Structure 1
Amino acid sequence: MQLTGDLYYPNSLPPHSSSHLYIHIPLRHLQPAVLPPFRLSSNSSMAPAAIARHTTKTVCVMDSSSHLGAALVDRLLHRGYTVHAAAFAGGDATKAAWSENKRVRVFRADPLDYNSIAEAIRGCSGLFYTFDDESSYDEFMVEIELRAAHNVLEACAQADSIERVVFTSSVTALIWNEKLKVTEDVDERDWSDPNFCRKFKLWHALAKTLSEKTAWALAMDRGVDMVAVNAGLILAGPELSPSNPYLKGAPEMYEDGVLVTVKLKFLVDAHICVFENPEAYGRYLCFNHTISHPKDAIKLAQMLSPGPSPPPSDGLGVIQERIHSKKLNKLLLEYRDGLQVAE
């Protein structure tokens, strides 16, 4: 049995400029830039920082047309927030259920247009940012995702009202490197190796790695309070298919004990928890199941490609799990009561 899919990796980073003039550049004119080295030290600003409770209950969800984005809007409305639902071009701007809700403002946002991003987040205390192309990833998409991350974090740095950014990243931003072949477990300190991703055309992993690094570099430089949620494969929505770019290299992920999935509700709760909890900091691996047994792999394959008979499991063995979400689980354990009480 094989679990198929595609991974992608970008090879450039948009330059950080001291000026704040932004121009909407047509995609066909994008040119690659040079990626500077990125390192995190124990003294980095990803360390915990106590912050006050958010001064306003108005937040922005971008891209609200994605499956995760729409679920976040619904959940935040249920919790009493006013939401700026910012949909990227090509996505549905609003759900029918939002049209009658006075606490929803709908925006059209272009990830390459700084002004449209700034308009969407104006007056918001927080931003939930997610970027996903459900169809395909290539080097071109990597460049777009990098520039989008740069524009979003720069807009947040310039916005007086933004108090925290929750940046949705991926488990693929941590797992793709030579470390997979050794015995060490994977945690939030790990990063995928861009050269490794380029070599094997893991474009999704490359895009998530470099866009997250871009966001962290700018957040640290500009003093933006940011938390990243590194999600596993989301078990919901149209993206749950064999063509999901997350799944390129799935057989290797399985063999190395790092093929993980997450339920949508759990992922949404994790986003809200890290936004509302002043003790949240840095990166959080987010998943609630590891595919480590042949029966789990078969079940996932059936979910991806439903058929009359299960796929064969020849050659699959039980795998030792080598990735953990202890940091998030601890935070959720301490904070879940608050999530439930506020329902």
Structure 2
Amino acid sequence: MVYATDDKTKTQHLLSLDGANERLQLYKADLTAEGSFDSAVDGCQAVFHTASPVLFQTSNPQADLIDPAVKGTLNVLKSCAKMPSVKRAPKHWYMLSKTLAEEAAWKFANENGIDLVAVNPGFVIGPFLQPSVNFTVEEVLRLINGNRAFPSDIFRFVDVRDVANAHIQAFEVPSASGRCCVVGSMVHYTEALKIMHELYPNLPLSGNWENYETFQPQCKISQEKAKSLGVNFTPLEVSLRDTVECLKEKGLVSF
């Protein structure tokens, strides 16, 4: 499902994938319009609803975040409920709007007999297909370019390929159920900067991070459920390297 299907900058990277001519169909839909997903869902055995607006500053959070997340999720599920072919519908969430959306999704799924699996990823990095960067990779890009002071916080990193695999396993493994946290590494951001410095010594990283006093995570996120589905997490070093290499390949950084 792609918004603005007439905009080639939004679709060309998808249409260029191997086998796209035979196996890929794009549908235009509106998250907030009930019935908008009916034609896309018709005939599917599984539905992966994997995105929703990511904004930290907005003058209208209800319209920009809550409605697209909650109504969008319910509208996808309502379309699923109409189609007897749909067997399972994995979903992943982000912050408050995603929490509200997940609560609404579980309520609707339980009331309508939909087999729902929730995949909850952390801070997603790794190589990307589209020509522009998404929010999480943009944060890495800003640090590389020196446009952002590094955040003094614990980050829950996960490779985008592991997130994709978790969604596939959530559909294919019969025992998959409930909620599944997908987080590969939980470290202070300076640890990530240290890794990038070791991989790319000439990288002009932001801030005086080498002398910054770090702190350890105050909690742990279990990988048990994700690993039980067959998810083998990519090392953070590999994810960061592949993120930077992808940025270089697309001409977004040079050093």
Using structure 2 for the length normalisation, give the TM-score. Answer: 0.69
SS of structure 1 residue aligned to 2:22: coil
Q: Aligned runs of 1:167-246 on 2, under 5 Å?
A: 167-170=91-94, 205-236=95-126, 237=128, 238-239=133-134, 240-242=137-139
What is the one-letter code of the residue matched to 1:330? S
Contact kept, 8 Å, 1:286 with 1:325, in 2: the verdict is yes
2:205 is equivalent to residue 315 of structure 1: no
SS of structure 1 residue aligned to 2:89: strand
2:74 is equivalent to residue 150 of structure 1: yes
Q: Which structure would you say has the larger RCO, counting Cα contacts within 8 Å and 6 or more residues apart?
A: 1
Distance 2:124 2:196 in 1: 11
What is the one-letter code of the residue matched to 2:71? R
Residues matched between the structures, number? 203
2:225 is equivalent to residue 327 of structure 1: yes
Aligned to 2:184: 288
What is the one-letter code of the residue matched to 1:295? E
What is the one-letter code of the residue matched to 2:29? A
Root mean square deviation, CA, Å: 3.1
Distance 2:16 2:46 in 1: 24
Distance 1:104 1:260, change over 3 A: same
SS of structure 2 residue aligned to 1:322: coil
Aligned to 2:172: 276
What is the one-letter code of the residue matched to 1:87? V
Distance 1:106 1:287, change over 3 A: same
SS of structure 2 residue aligned to 1:324: coil
Distance 1:265 1:164 in 2: 21
Using structure 1 for the length normalisation, give the TM-score. Answer: 0.52
Kindly indicate which of the two structures has a greater share of residues assigned to helix. 2
Distance 1:332 1:222, change over 3 A: same
What is the one-letter code of the residue matched to 1:332? G
Distance 1:113 1:302 in 2: 48
Distance 1:137 1:224, change over 3 A: farther
Structure 2: runs of 5 or more not aligned: 142-150, 233-255
Q: Equivalent of 2:85, from 141, 145, 161? A: 161
Aligned to 2:243: none
SS of structure 2 residue aligned to 1:211: helix
Identity, in percent, stands at 24
Distance 1:301 1:233, change over 3 A: farther
Contact kept, 8 Å, 1:219 with 1:225, in 2: the verdict is yes
What is the one-letter code of the residue matched to 1:281? S
Distance 1:137 1:274, change over 3 A: farther
What is the one-letter code of the residue matched to 1:108? K
Structure 1: runs of 5 or more not aligned: 1-85, 171-204, 245-249, 335-343
